[in-house]
Amino acid sequence: MLRIRDTRHSSTASLLSDAIQIAEYYGFVPMENLRRSENMQKKPPTAAEIDELLNFARKDERSLTAVARKAVMTARELGEATFAWRIAQSAGALPSITLELHVFGHGSAMAEALLIVVGNAIVQNAGIQQRTLYLNNLGSSESSGRYVRDVQQYLRKHIESISPTLRPRAAVDPLGTLVQLIDRGHPAIARAPQATEYLTEDERRRFWEFLEYLEVFGLPYELSGHVLGSRDVWSHALYEIATTDPETQARLPLAFGGRYDPVISRFARRPEGAAMIGINVEVRGGTRPKKASRPSPGIFFAHLGREARRRALGVIESLRGAEIPVHQSLTYERLGEQMAAARKLAVPYILIMGHKEAVENAILVREVATNSQESVPLEDLTNYLKRRRMGIKQALGATL
């Protein structure tokens, strides 16, 4: 949990205001603003009906069923990703709330990487300089099924060392039991099976792709088998951002998330993608964030090719740091889709990074009206855009 005294903020409301501003820079919108689909053939099951089918290893997992149901009822084009944020009450003993960021309708590892980059930016902006990103991977339902069976056998061997109140759960919910043992610092957890050892070759390749995004961005991480959740809820990557409590030297989780395809697929009645990260914040002072007006960006960032896509997160974060607003399309892979989005937004400028530009640390700046373009070194990009006042649509009469 982000404790207000450890941040540069005086209240929860102040921290949330800044956090939401960062999220909205990347295109996240309030979840209550999502438009409901009017063309649904059949309503999805209720959250209560799905809850009865799931084992929840963590308290904060239960809220995902209501979110997933709302997501499948949202109007969006096939293959279109939706970015949304919401503030939820937390289930911990201390009063806290959680800022959740969700990406719906996208199945690639870019969704998880983007959520981590945004979550890390929020925690860093709050003033937490010493933090660690921990990663784990449950793989698909088949891989996690093998993992859970071995966890169950492992718990049977150590059943006598487990608290009598927790032993009944070990037979029906092995992962939930293991999460409890990790939270309690049980000595047996050190030798417990590791989820990443059960991944298939395809799942390992997907995980490596995910790790490449983080490495190219320059975000260090540690693999940790202790980042866990229910296999009924999560698949593939799980992640946690944590710091060290200066008083107890214990690990202090600040944010947690992962891909929850199994939950949203139950509501959609077909394979569907969803990922999230939740930043847990202590309640102190006011909690209602201020609504800040965001200027309409005059720039659209487009990428082409694998190398450019891996570099994209770093470019956009540098633009955010320079306070240059930009539209992005990181969840699109085809350049044609991105150009169509740029035309729809009617931006006067487009930044294009292809494979050649990514290798040469450069980017093309195209003026839409004249179709002229110039190659600009990445290290000079923010100054170049500011000098030419390209950041905001001129129709607004705003300047950088």
pLDDT digits (tens, 9 = 90+) for 172-187: 899 999 999 998 889 9
- CA dist., res. 137 & res. 225, Å (int): 8
Kindly tell me if the per-residue pLDDT of 285 is higher than 80. Answer: yes
Question: Residue 263: pLDDT band by 50, 70, 90 thresholds?
Answer: very high
Find the mean pLDDT for residues 96-123. 95
Kindly tell me if the per-residue pLDDT of 332 is higher than 90. Answer: no
77: left (phi > 0), else alpha (psi -120 to 50), else beta?
beta
Kindly tell me if the per-residue pLDDT of 397 is higher than 90. Answer: no
Please, what are the domains in the chain?
4-139+199-282 (3.30.930.10), 299-396 (3.40.50.800)
Strand order in the sheet with 251-259: 29-30, 82-89, 96-104, 274-282, 251-259, 235-244, 132-137, 222-223
Query: Across all residues in the chain, what is the average pLDDT?
Result: 91
User: ∠292-298-304 over CA atoms, to 5°?
Assistant: 115
User: ∠227-312-72 over CA atoms, to 5°?
Assistant: 60
Question: Residue 394: pLDDT band by 50, 70, 90 thresholds?
Answer: very low
325, 301 Cβ separation under 8 angstroms: no
Question: Residue 124: pLDDT band by 50, 70, 90 thresholds?
Answer: very high
